[in-house]
Structure 1
Amino acid sequence: MVRLPDRMVYVDDEQDLREILRITLESFGYEGAFATCGSGKELLQRLRVLQPELILLDLKMPDMDGPATIAQLKMHEMGRNIPIVFVTGSIKLEMLERYKPLGVLGVIHKPLDLSALADNISALWCDYLETSAAD
C-alpha cells in the first residue's frame, strides 16, 4: 500500500522535473497538497504557508544547494523537524550518512524511475513514521 504525506514540497531548479514529478504523483492518485519551489531560497520564503510534512530536495542547485538549504532550514523554527529526501543524480554514501542526523531520510536517484516514484517516497515516509513512533 502506498502511503504518502498530506503535504509535500519538491525543490529543484529544473522546472520540467518539478512538473513531471507533480504529474506523476497525480497519476498515482496522490490527493495531498503538492507544491514546488525553484530554489532553497523560495522554499524558505514559502515555508510558513506551505507547512510541508516532507521535503524532496535536489542536491545541486545554483545559489543555494541542498546542503545549504538544509542548514538554513535547521535554523528556522518551522523547518528544523521536517524530514527531507534528496532527489539527485549523484551522492556519496558518506555524504548521505552525514546528513541523516539532520533529518535526511534517504535518496531518490535521478534519472527518476517514474513507475517506482510513489513507492520509493512511500517506503521512506513509512520508515520515518515507524522510527518516529518508536522514539
Structure 2
Amino acid sequence: MSEKRILVIDDEKNLCSVIQACLEHLGGWTVLIAPEAREGLHLAETQVPDAILLDVMMPDMDGVALFSLLQNNAATRGIPVIFLTAKVQAMDLNEFADLGVAGVIAKPFDPLGLAQQVADILGWEPSL
C-alpha cells in the first residue's frame, strides 16, 4: 500500500509545523502544508492528497467556504476533509456535520494523539 499524503491548510505557521511533525513521525504519512486557502485549493487540485486537515478560521477565506469549493470541484470532491477548529459548540458541530466533512478535531488538540485521531476519523492505520 502506498504512503498516505495529508494536506494541512492552516494560516498558523507554528501549528502547521507541530501538525507536520506529529503526522509524519507518529502516523508515518507525508504532509503537505498550505498557509492560505487559495494555495490549499491549488495543492488539493494538483497533488490530490488522501485527506485534508482544514482550519475553519483563516483570514483570506474561511474553511467552510473552501470546503464548498473543494466539494464543487470534480478533482477534489472525493478527498475527505477534517476541520481543525476551536469552534466546538454543539451548534457548530451540527453545522459541520451537515456539510459532510469527515470529522472535526478541536483546537487545542493533543499532539501525541493527533495521528491516531486522524486515523480513527478516516479509518486508517498509522503506517508506523
Query: Smaller-chain TM-score range?
Result: 0.7 to 0.9
* CA deviation after TM superposition for structure 1 residue 72, in Å: 1.0
CA distance in 2, matches of 1:43, 1:65: 12
The aligned residue for residue 22 of structure 2 is 24
Q: Which residue among 86, 100, 103 is the counterpart of 2:100?
A: 103
CA distance in 2, matches of 1:29, 1:43: 21
Contact 1:73 / 1:79 at 8 angstroms: preserved in 2? yes
Q: In the alignment, residue 113 of structure 2 is paired with which amino acid?
A: A
| Unmatched segments (≥5 aa) in structure 1 | 128-135
The aligned residue for residue 57 of structure 1 is 54
Q: Normalised by the size of structure 1, how large is the TM-score? A: 0.80
Query: Is 1:73 aligned to residue 70 of structure 2?
Result: yes
Contact 2:7 / 2:44 at 8 angstroms: preserved in 1? no
* CA deviation after TM superposition for structure 1 residue 96, in Å: 2.8
* Equivalent position SS for 2:16: helix
CA distance in 1, matches of 2:76, 2:100: 10
The aligned residue for residue 11 of structure 2 is 13
Q: In the alignment, residue 74 of structure 2 is paired with which amino acid?
A: E
Query: Is 1:48 aligned to residue 45 of structure 2?
Result: yes
The aligned residue for residue 117 of structure 2 is 120
CA distance in 1, matches of 2:117, 2:97: 17
% identical equivalent positions? 33
* CA deviation after TM superposition for structure 1 residue 85, in Å: 0.7
CA distance in 1, matches of 2:27, 2:72: 34
The aligned residue for residue 130 of structure 1 is none
The aligned residue for residue 91 of structure 2 is 94
Contact 1:56 / 1:85 at 8 angstroms: preserved in 2? yes
Contact 2:27 / 2:116 at 8 angstroms: preserved in 1? no
Q: Normalised by the size of structure 2, how large is the TM-score? A: 0.84
What is the count of residue pairs matched by the alignment?
122
